[in-house]
Amino acid sequence: MIALDAMGGDYAPDEIIKGALRCVKAHRMKVALFGPQEELERRLDQLDVQWRDYPLILHDAPDIIGMGDEPVDAVKKKINSSLVKTITSVANNTSSVAISAGNSGAVMAAALFSIGRTEGIDRPALVGLLPAFQHPVVCLDLGAITDCRAENLYQWAHLGFDYAKKILGIDRPTVGLLSNGEESTKGSLITKEAFRLLQQSPLPFIGNIEPLHIIQNRADVVVTNGFTGNILLKTYEATVSFCCSFLPQDMRELILKRTALDRQSGAVLLGIKKPVLVVHGNAHADVIERALLLAQKISLQ
């Protein structure tokens, strides 16, 4: 069973519901949808009167956590929100994976409170795959923790290393530290300290790397803080869109295919005991469908 927050994201609940419907119909996937029950039923009736025939379960969650809500406060106060209830259903083993396109800070806070941290990891990180020439590169943190310490970067390098082994199937993935120059003297105070920690670690650390090195596959894993990682990912996406806007339709499709933006599904929150998928707030039904398929894949591992 995959738990899905019906009220998270810019196009909730309609696009979330549509994505869920596609999965339960086409793939017979078991999905638990969290949101205001009556509203969800009304929308589902409009979309497909036969929805009750599919493995789709509704759970009433009348409250909503908005994108602008302060994460920790919202999670503590809105215990009947779709977001909190989605995460809780994984914490109490009712579902195997949770998905939300809502307030990513709140998703993280809820995951920390109800699921709890992996041993040895002080703070979680959002991990995703960035397209590159030879194979995708594991990048973290993509936005979970905006203010981090060198020890967090060090721990995330280990999380990324383990994730790359599993997802990319590489025996000893190399790890790079995102910086404003490849020389060891480049970086912020925090990345310089993380550099020293990583040099002393058993990981195959290759040093500082720049954005161009990521797409050149100089490392299999790239570690950075959540603020810069988020800007990295969104700048990549924005620049692909910018380039595509000047191209004819066939070239645009080629670029979207090669840069794999059409296959985006979500980032996985690492460093907590159970898997949680965080989906971009502007997710339409196709992204939700892919997120559900990724969640199913993760839950089968």
Q: Does 199 bind its own copies (CB under 8 A)?
A: no
Phi and psi torsions of 223, nearest 5°: -110, 135
The bridge status of strand 125-130 relative to strand 137-140 is antiparallel
Q: Strands, E, within 143-203: which ranges?
A: 175-178
- Judged by CB under 8 A, does residue 173 bind its own copies? no
CB of 26 to its own copies, least distance (A): 30
Could you tell me the two tokens for 190? Answer: 């925090």
Of 93 and 245, nearer to its own copies (C-beta) is 245
Does 193 bind its own copies (CB under 8 A)? Our answer is no
Q: Does 136 bind its own copies (CB under 8 A)?
A: no
Considering the complex, what minimum distance in angstroms separates the CB of residue 226 from its own copies?
7
Could you say whether residue 150 binds its own copies (CB under 8 A)?
Answer: no
Contact between 183 and its own copies by CB under 8 A: the answer reads yes
List Cα–Cα distances, 288 to 113, 194, 195, 196, in angstroms. Answer: 25, 35, 37, 40
Q: Where are the alpha helices (DSSP H) in 188-281?
A: 189-199, 211-215, 226-244, 249-258
By CB under 8 A, tell whether 259 contacts its own copies. yes
Nearest distance, CB of residue 110 and its own copies, angstroms: 16
Number of H helices, E strands in the chain: 11, 11
Note whether 227 binds its own copies by CB under 8 A.
yes
Reading the block at residue 242, the tokens are 């910018």
Q: Which residues bind its own copies (CB under 8 A)?
A: 67-70, 131-133, 143, 146-147, 178-181, 183-185, 187-189, 191, 210-212, 214-215, 224, 226-228, 230-232, 234-247, 251, 254-255, 258-259
